Amino acid sequence: MSASDPSAKPAPGRTTPSGLELKPTYTPADLPADAAAELPGAFPFSRGLYPDMYRSRLWTMRQYAGYASAEESNQRYRHLLASGTTGLSVAFDLPTQIGFDSDHPMARGEVGRVGVAIDSIHDMRRLFDGIPLDRVTTSMTINATAATLLALYLAVAEEQGVAWTKVGGTVQNDILKEYAARGTYIYPPRPSLRLVADIIDFCAREVPRWNPISISGYHIREAGSTAVQEVAFTLANGLAYVEQVLARGLDIDHFAARLSFFFNAHNHFFEEVAKFRAARRLWAELVRERFAPQDERSCWLRFHTQTAGSTLTAQQPENNVVRVALQAFAAACGGTQSLHTNSRDEALGLPTEEAVTVAVRTQQIVAHESGAADVADPLGGSWLVESLTDQIVAGAREYIRRIDEMGGALAAVEKGFVQKEIAEAAYAWQRAVEAGDRKVVGVNCFGTDHEPVPETLRIDPRAEEEQAARVRAMREARDAERARAARAALREAAAEERQLMPPILDCVRAELTLGEIADTLREVFGEHRDSTLS
């Protein structure tokens, strides 16, 4: 039976992983009327922020890394820089992320496991030993304790003789998505939002090359959201942060251009390219509509991409190299400003040095051999990609309208709306995989009976004991009176709702630990308990 036979049955319907319907064929009728007129570097920036994109400058190649001690992480950073990465990306262990020192009972068994342990300025010095902070940019994936880690980084830059005006990088500092998708919060949402705004305000005035926030859809997607939800919830959070800072009297053009975003790259190549284009367009439109900036750069959505950890499989882990390559290619075709490529063994443990090198080489092959960097927006004008871009913009706008009706992103999180939407999407995806409706190679199809177990990186348990001993010794040796005075000043500033970055800087210079700073703020702010789980 030929494809043109009128008696042939139509092909069954297909959708993207996010549920967007896919037609068998696309034509010029699927293009929006103004698609042909839009150019890269022009509002609303669907086709990219710059006219030439990567012809002028490639994306920053980052690799997210950190484990065990600061010394071991420092060695990994040096290896990555020697391998060709152009920016560092720091992974912190869970105690550091939630404000516990390495000798705290709550930290037991977690020190240095999923990132590096940073307890004090001594650890930060060791972490960046021999790495000039005026020549690299550093991204730090840290949220609840972001102010303390930024203060530690700036204090080490001071010790290196590097002016803050020359320090470049990013701190994640996106606390709203922690309540909705990730869970490394400490304080209740409202004082946490105050801390976010303190960092944005401080950096706008003192650290002009620093991105004070990375508004993150990555973890929303890792928790199970669709691509449409990833865009919608991320941009809704971004609007909340902008409003929080504007309420302090800052002009939109004094800080908006330094906001950055962080997205996930999944396996459906065309949907992911469309998602990046849609996020850029929708953010530009929302900022112009709501805040009327004078500087067009205030409408820019600059974003980092990380390939999707949730798509990596422990079964047949070599297949992950292919998944990561596809995801990296989508990020490049979608116009990312920086990129991290996951390593093939991350479903099994922290990546080995060999696997990390392959991940770096993946970025380099995409950059120099695929052709993706030769043309701005290489898929612009694709009938399929333009149609998907429009659908994602429309779907995300509808979500944002509903969130606005609830009172904004904070209210939507407090009501459990965002959490519920993500959970339902995650459940639907898992059901589809278990039913075989969504194929995952090596998991629910094309499996093998005998799979070799690859070598994985193992953390020496003595590293935790040594780190705990270091922090205890530091407390004994420091100037106790200076530390006490700095802590008292921080407590007073928190209670009086003053800007917290200066007293936190004084605390880290006085050798207070991260846990002591977090405990001081706990005394004033309290701790968050998720009522949506009860």
Pairing between β-strand 338-340 and β-strand 60-65 as defined by DSSP bridges: parallel
Displacement of CA 71 from its chain's centroid (Å):
25
CB 244 within 8 A of CB 193: yes
Q: Is the peptide bond before 44 cis (omega within 30 degrees of 0)?
A: yes
CB 96 within 8 A of CB 115: yes
What type of residue is 126?
R
Q: Nearest to residue 410, comparing CAs of 181, 187, 241, 218?
A: 241
CA-to-CA separations, 311 to 226, 234, 267, 287, in angstroms, rounded:
13, 20, 8, 32
Tens of pLDDT along the chain (534 residues)? 333 443 434 345 689 999 999 999 999 998 877 766 789 999 999 999 999 999 999 999 988 778 778 888 899 888 888 888 878 889 999 999 999 999 999 999 999 988 999 999 999 999 999 999 999 999 999 999 999 999 999 999 999 999 999 999 999 999 999 999 999 999 999 999 999 999 999 999 999 999 999 999 999 999 999 999 999 999 999 999 999 999 999 999 999 999 999 999 999 999 999 999 999 999 999 999 999 999 999 999 999 999 999 999 999 999 999 999 999 999 999 999 999 999 999 999 888 889 999 999 999 999 999 999 999 999 999 999 999 999 999 999 999 999 999 999 999 999 999 999 999 999 999 999 999 999 999 999 998 877 777 777 777 788 899 999 999 999 999 999 999 999 999 999 999 999 999 999 999 999 999 999 999 999 999 999 877 655
pLDDT value of position 6:
38
Q: For 116, phi and psi rounded to 5 degrees?
A: -85, 145
Q: Residue 109 burial by CB count (10 A; 0-12/13-18/19+): exposed, middle or buried? A: exposed
Q: For 336, phi and psi rounded to 5 degrees?
A: -65, 155
Which one-letter DSSP state was computed for residue 438?
A: S
pLDDT value of position 9:
41
Exposed e or buried b per residue across 36-56, where buried means at least 16 C-beta atoms within 10 angstroms of its C-beta = eebebeeebbbbbbbeebbee
**Tokens coding 335:** 């116009």
The position carrying tokens 């990129």 is 339
CA-to-CA separations, 169 to 97, 134, 234, in angstroms, rounded:
18, 10, 20
Sign, CA dihedral 188-193-196-198, equals negative
The DSSP annotation for 464-518 comes to: HHHHHHHHHHHHHHS-HHHHHHHHHHHHHHHHTT---HHHHHHHHHTT--HHHHH
Element (H, E) at 138: strand 137-141
CB 398 within 8 A of CB 407: no
pLDDT value of position 227:
97
**Tokens coding 498:** 């003053």
Q: For 245, phi and psi rounded to 5 degrees?
A: -75, -40
CA-to-CA separations, 141 to 64, 150, 169, 180, in angstroms, rounded:
9, 11, 11, 17
Domains and CATH numbers, the chain: 28-435 (3.20.20.240)
Q: What angle do CA 364, 137, 299 make, to 5 degrees?
A: 90
Q: Residue 188 burial by CB count (10 A; 0-12/13-18/19+): exposed, middle or buried? A: middle
Pairing between β-strand 137-141 and β-strand 87-91 as defined by DSSP bridges: parallel
Cα–Cα distance measured from residue 333 to residue 277, given in angstroms and rounded to the nearest whole number? 9
The position carrying tokens 């560092």 is 88
Cα–Cα distance measured from residue 211 to residue 191, given in angstroms and rounded to the nearest whole number? 21
Q: In 10 A of CB 60, how many CB atoms?
A: 18
Q: Which residues in 230-301 belong to E strands, given as ranges?
A: 260-265
Displacement of CA 72 from its chain's centroid (Å):
23
Element (H, E) at 430: helix 417-435
**Tokens coding 359:** 């991940």
Q: Nearest to residue 356, comparing CAs of 327, 312, 321?
A: 321
What is the Cα gyration radius of the chain?
23
3-state SS string over 44-92? CCCCCCCCCHHHCCCCEEEEEECCCCHHHHHHHHHHHHHHCCCEEEEEE
- Residue 63: strand pairing partners: 88
Cα–Cα distance measured from residue 502 to residue 199, given in angstroms and rounded to the nearest whole number? 10
pLDDT value of position 86:
78
The four Cα atoms 134, 139, 140, 142 give a dihedral, to 10 degrees, of 140
CA-to-CA separations, 88 to 62, 132, 305, 346, in angstroms, rounded:
6, 12, 14, 18
**Tokens coding 40:** 């890269």
